[in-house]
Amino acid sequence: MDQDFILNNGSGGICCKGCGRGMGQLHSFDYLAGVPGADEGDYVEVQFKNTRKGFFINSNKIPLEKGDIVAVESNPGHDIGTVTMTGRLVALQMKKANLRPDIEIKRIYRKAREVDMEKYAEAKAREHDTMIRSRQIAKELGLEMKIGDVEYQGDGLKAIFYYIADGRVDFRQLIKVLADAFHVRIEMKQIGARQEAGRIGGIGPCGRELCCTTWMTSFVSVSTGAARFQDLSMNPQKLAGQCAKLKCCLNYEVDAYVEAQKGFPSRDIPLETLDSTYFFFKADILNGQISYSTDKVFAANVETISPARALEIIAMNRKGQKPASLDENAVKTDPRKDNDIL
């Protein structure tokens, strides 16, 4: 019953090999599974609601496997989470998270008991109503902030309020009001729009779970230059993700496009032939093709050639020479641009 509750509430679902089953979680894959000695080590990675994870020490030597539900030390009381990784890989994860070696690591108390899961279920059932009420309180206090999520601790003694704000917010009065309203210890955490999308989860236009929900742990800035390099339509509705920011995936292939464009001529240089002057119209970077038009703005007599041929004609023009045509094997193309999947 305990495992069914965790699976249904989206805070577990880890298979025995360490691969996440989705459900809007950050996956941890144990690539050392089956390697002798890989399970040695007292540190354990534990995942809580959505993308929140923590590292704990198994000082009691409790036999743990991925997917086990455990009660861990918190302040105050205890929290309930799912084991996502054990063994030597946890030390690497801690190093990646920039945890200082002198930091005090909290302990794993025990595997979750039935009474622990009952308290956990009661706490989780309060989260949505708490979030709605806290938004009303923040509005009444005139605070320029949005409370995007509320996460109760496993024993219900503490609640974390995740909020978004453009600037600094003085929420001292808010904390007092929230503590009186919900009778729990209050912790406020400011997150960005991308982090909020990761916590809430969702499906992207590609049909898959959001990257910020499933695997991304760091968020770098995304500029419109990434879209320009890939010749994507500068339509804000297409370029923006569910967080209303530029999609993180715009950065995934931009390096490949930048590298591929090194063999392309400048788009500002027209090509002179005996019969006409051709201006840049569009480029198919990955296929290595450039289309030129006899009109600067509209598609007229569009011909597609290779970058090497374009560079050759530019070199001829600089010498005062003009070829008879762009290419004897030039391909007449449909000037309409392919639809962007973004």
Write the pLDDT tens digit of every residue in 9-66. 444 333 333 343 333 345 566 666 666 666 677 899 999 987 788 999 998 889 998 8
List residues bridging with 303 in a β-sheet. 292, 332
pLDDT above 90: percentage of residues in the chain: 42
Which of helix, strand or coil describes residue 56? Answer: strand
Mean pLDDT of the 241-260 span: 90
Residue-level pLDDT at 15: 39
Checking 164-169 for CB contacts under 8 A at 24+ apart, the result is 164/190, 164/191, 164/192, 164/193, 164/196, 165/190, 169/143, 169/144, 169/145
Sheet architecture: strand order including 146-152: 146-152, 158-164, 185-190
Tell me the angle at which helices 172-182 and 127-140 cross, rounded to the nearest 10 degrees: 140
Residue 280's pLDDT band, with cuts at 50, 70 and 90, is very high
Report which listed range, 94-103, 212-221, 231-240, is most confident: 231-240
Which of helix, strand or coil describes residue 162? Answer: strand
Mean pLDDT of the 169-180 span: 92
Tell me the angle at which helices 114-125 and 127-140 cross, rounded to the nearest 10 degrees: 40
Report DSSP state, residue 189: E
Say whether pLDDT at 137 is over 60: yes
List residues bridging with 47 in a β-sheet. 53, 82
Q: Which CATH number fits domain 126-194: 3.30.300.20, 3.30.390.30, 3.40.50.2300, 3.40.718.10?
A: 3.30.300.20
Q: What is the DSSP string of 273-325?
A: -SS-EEEEEEEETTTTEEEEESSSSS--S-EEE-HHHHHHHHHHHHTT---SS
**Neighbouring C-alpha atoms within 13 Å toward the C-beta of 23:** 17
In whole angstroms, what is the distance from residue 35 CA to residue 33 CA? 6
pLDDT digits (tens, 9 = 90+) for 259-269: 888 889 998 99
Domain ranges within the chain, ordered by starting residue: 2-113, 126-194, 219-263, 264-332
- How wide is the angle at C-alpha 131 spanned by C-alphas 217 and 114, nearest 5°? 80
The answer to whether 293 touches 278, Cβ cutoff 8 Å, is yes
User: Which of 70-74, 167-171, 290-294 shows the lowest per-residue confidence on average (mean pLDDT)?
Assistant: 167-171
In whole angstroms, what is the distance from residue 118 CA to residue 129 CA? 19
Residue-level pLDDT at 338: 57
Say whether pLDDT at 85 is over 80: yes
The answer to whether 202 touches 209, Cβ cutoff 8 Å, is yes
pLDDT above 70: percentage of residues in the chain: 84
The average confidence (pLDDT) of the chain is 83
What is the DSSP pairing of strand 277-284 with strand 69-73?
unpaired
Mean pLDDT of the 95-100 span: 77
In whole angstroms, what is the distance from residue 107 CA to residue 103 CA? 13
